[in-house]
Structure 1
Amino acid sequence: MANRNLKDGNSIQKLDAQKLLKKLNKQAVKSIKSPDGDIIDCVDILKQPAFDHPKLKNHKIRMRPSSYPEGIVFEESNVASKSAPISQLWHQSGSCPEGTIPIRRITEEDILRTSSTQKFGEKNLQTSHLPSYAGGQRVNEHASIFVKGDKYYGGKGTMNVWNPKVLQDVEWSVSAIWVMNDADKQKLNAIFAGWRVNPYLYGDNRTRLFTFWTVSSNFQMTGCYDLRCSGFIQLNAGVAVGSTIKPLSVYNDTNSQYDITIMIWKDKSNGDWWMQYGADKVMGYWPSSLFTHLSDSASIIQWGGQIVNAATNGQHTTTQMGSGQFPREHFGKASYFKNIKFVNGQNQMVPADNTFPQVDRPNCYDVQSGRSDDWGRFFYFGGPGRNPNCP
């Protein structure tokens, strides 16, 4: 009887998963099979998941920002252009036609990895995904720096890309930029983007571009990763959030350090939060109507690394952050952020001086910052996790 109940429960869960898939995966104009096994669906830009959000039912899509931070120059006027695309693995198999955006197809396995279909999508959130001062768990560990104490309207930074080893599926490793308000977890608004290795989320250990947003209100959290729920409006036809980044940096090879640049900024004209990936590719935006405490400005901009430590059997995890090397290893070996900047109240992109470190366990993961003519304000970060000084 127990086996039959278990079988019936699995059948119901699979049925629920199939129903959810029909809702989440939009009809594709074209589908592309990536070498890593992902399916990239080219979806009509006006039929993307964002417009399922109740606050965006009558939203008129904006094809370009109305304003930019001072000092930012874009090489192309059409933000949806596919010229000089940033390398992702699926590009080897094709491209999406004009008027569509690439979306990584969600699979039944993606949904079944969660404890229930109700916890997928906009409810697939844990406070441990956020910096600890914003309500995270003690298993969340950081090696990062941040600015705080003023009103901020965006952040920017260039980070090199690695494939850190993640010990188990319930853990992950991330390098990102955070834009958030300094509030308790019941009033938290946050946006962040970067690269991550997350077996639980993606079902593998590949390094992937990701975005995340959340709004907490009345003990409820909404938002999600990538395009797994409605909210973020994507414009770019050449980059798929949630997809594998290629190439990756090579340890001890100064000629094989590959990095990505991410900028998140607030459009002063309409309040939307925009994201740029690379030197000149505008990805899309989070409409201001999604947020409460980020509707005006952010109070924290943060750059750096974050891991989850499950502390199995009382031991620290060996999950790596960044390259898995400490900052003292420097260029070619350690993970870095360079040219870190934020947008001030005058809509100027300025260097991130007067930063504060957030290093939870320096014997496990650490930060070392500096300044140079070429890299501006920069820092190295990361570490191997468990070692003789981090038991």
Structure 2
Amino acid sequence: MICSEPIFPPFVVVVLLVSACLSTAVSSTKTLIESEPPPANQTFRTGRELDKFRRIRSYLRKINKPAVKTIKSPYGDVIDCVLSHHQPAFDHPRLKGHKPLEPPKRPTGNYSFDSIKETFHSWIDTGELCPEGSIPIRRTTEEDVLRASSIGRFGKKLARGVRRDTMSSDHEHAVAFVNGDQYYGAKASINVWAPLVRDEYEFSLSQLWVISGSFGNDLNTIEAGWQVSPELYGDNNPRFFTYWTTDAYQATGCYNLLCSGFVQINNKIAIGAAISPRSSYRAKQFDIGIMIWKDPKHGHWWLEFGSGLLVGYWPSFLFSHLQNHASMVQFGGEIVNSRSMGYHTSTQMGSGHFADEGFEKASYFRNLQVVDWDNNLIPLSNLHLLADHPDCYDIKAGKNAVWGNYFYYGGPGRNSKCP
């Protein structure tokens, strides 16, 4: 579908704010009356809980690295400035003793900046920056880990994080994708909203996926975008995030910097940080640029945020199939439908409005491109669309001279046609 009306590019303001509060643990002591001993299972239950907290604190000591400076964001998060070579990535046996690599050559092509001015607020706007040679890391708290189903699952997606078929009952998608070729990266601009997430264990995200392997247990993906996840972050703010896996979300990979893998080089970007301002219905639109591409020289997969801010890279040895190239690229939205109330969730995707509503109402991806074998950004060909529950969340694509390939997507979830 070719858009018949001109679409004016929005003003884009990218703001990284870091958010989720540290809370103080309060302990209370109960005096037991000798004549009334506790139930037989009380001691066992207390011991089990103590063991759980010991394991959580051991995990926190491992993941929260020593800080050379600490910054409190307006959203309540604590940001630790960690020396680059002390970040979690360098716990990996193949990275021990290494230092972050120098930036690679960026892909050549049309970047479509649209004369957009970018500003950064919150802890960056106040002048509170991490020193050169360090990176900002959102501190993980006990409360963060306790919200997960287990310590082992903290910071990880459930299996089925990529659209495989239309039969998934819990993960629902509205995506555009290309396949049938060799892909060495992808790029898009995504406008940012704050969709309502109705259940603590649901999420709503908008991202791009770089995919290789089958859709079995050997699935490799690299992912980046924005998400609202009360379970992971403890609030309903949209946050910049990354993810990777090399075994279909089973044992490898994690969100952000919650395991050894992604190597961050930027001292201004806090992965897991809240994004503000957000787009508003029938008002100003704000979007973020995301580009992922494979460095032709070393083979690592690099991430760029906005117009030219290199965040870091995923070392190629993390992957099996993605050591070579991607076989599919997806763009779009995903939600989790837990049906916790016995019917379809009303968790929103994107803006919470259907694609037909268009600009200033529906959520969008614009300037979709992929990277070819020669490190060139090129327009998409053979773009496919899929909404696996179109009465709940849908998608509609177009193309014009300003936005190139684009699409609108999203929806409210539960409604009269989505019971």
TM-score, normalised to structure 1's length? Answer: 0.91
Q: Residue 196 of structure 1 aligns with which residue?
A: 227
2:85 equivalent in structure 1? 46
- Given the superposition, is the C-alpha separation of residues 376 and 233 from structure 1 closer, same or farther in structure 2, using an over 3 Å criterion? same
Which residue of the other structure, out of 336, 341, 356, is the alignment partner of 1:328? 356
Q: Deviations over 1:278-317 (max 9, x none)?
A: 0110100001111111000000111110001112343111
Q: Which of the residues 151, 154, 161 maps onto 1:129?
A: 161
Distance 1:329 1:73, change over 3 A: closer
Report what 2:11 is aligned to: none
Tell me how far 1:340 sits from its aligned partner: 0.4
- Per-residue deviation at 1:56? 1.6
Match of 1:81 in 2: none
Gaps spanning 5+ residues in structure 2: where?
1-39
**Using the alignment, how far apart are the partners of 2:381 and 2:112 within structure 1?**
25
The alpha-carbon deviation at position 141 of structure 1 amounts to: 0.6
Residue-by-residue CA offset, 1:201-225 (whole Å, 9 max, x unaligned): 11111110000001118x9520100
**What is the CA–CA distance in structure 1 between the aligned matches of 2:60 and 2:400, rounded to whole Å?**
49
Q: Counterpart amino acid of 1:204? A: D
Pick closer, same or farther for the CA change 1:98–1:136 going to 2, 3 Å: farther
Structure-2 residue corresponding to 1:25: 64
Please state how far the C-alpha of 1:264 moved relative to its aligned partner.
0.2
1:210 to 213, 228, 241: 241
Q: In proportion to residue count, which structure has more helix?
A: 1
Report whether the alignment pairs 1:225 with 2:255: yes
- Is residue 2:210 matched to residue 1:176? no
When residues 216 and 88 of structure 1 are mapped into structure 2, their CA distance, relative to the original with a 3 A threshold, is farther
Secondary structure class of the residue paired with 2:152: helix
Q: List alignment gaps of at least 5 residues for structure 1.
A: 76-83
1:108 aligns with 2:136: no
Question: Is this contact kept in 2: 1:128–1:136, CA < 8 A?
Answer: no
Moved more, 105-114 or 260-269: 105-114
- Which whole-Å CA distance do the structure 2 matches of 1:74 and 1:351 have between them? 12
User: Is the contact between residue 84 and residue 100 of structure 2 (CA under 8 Å) also seen in structure 1?
Assistant: no
State the secondary structure of the residue aligned to 2:172: strand
**In 2, Cα distance between the equivalents of 1:74 and 1:328?**
25
- 4+ runs deviating over 4 angstroms: 72-75
In the comparison of the two structures, how many residue pairs are matched? 376
Give, as a single letter, the amino acid of the residue that structure 1 aligns with 2:255. Y
Q: Which secondary structure state, in structure 1, belongs to the residue aligned with residue 274 of structure 2?
A: coil
Deviates further, 104-113 or 153-162: 104-113
Q: 1:248-327, aligned counterparts within 5 Å? A: 248-253=278-283, 256-327=284-355
Q: CA RMSD in A?
A: 2.1
CA distance in 2, matches of 1:56, 1:85: 34
| Identity over aligned pairs, percent | 47
Contact 1:334 1:380 in 2 (8 A): yes
The one-letter code matched in structure 2 to 1:191 is: I
From 97, 109, 120, the counterpart of 1:87 = 120
Alignment partner of 1:387 is 2:415: yes
1:56 match: secondary structure: coil
Distance of aligned partners of 1:294 and 1:147 in 2 relative to their CA distance in 1, 3 Å threshold: same
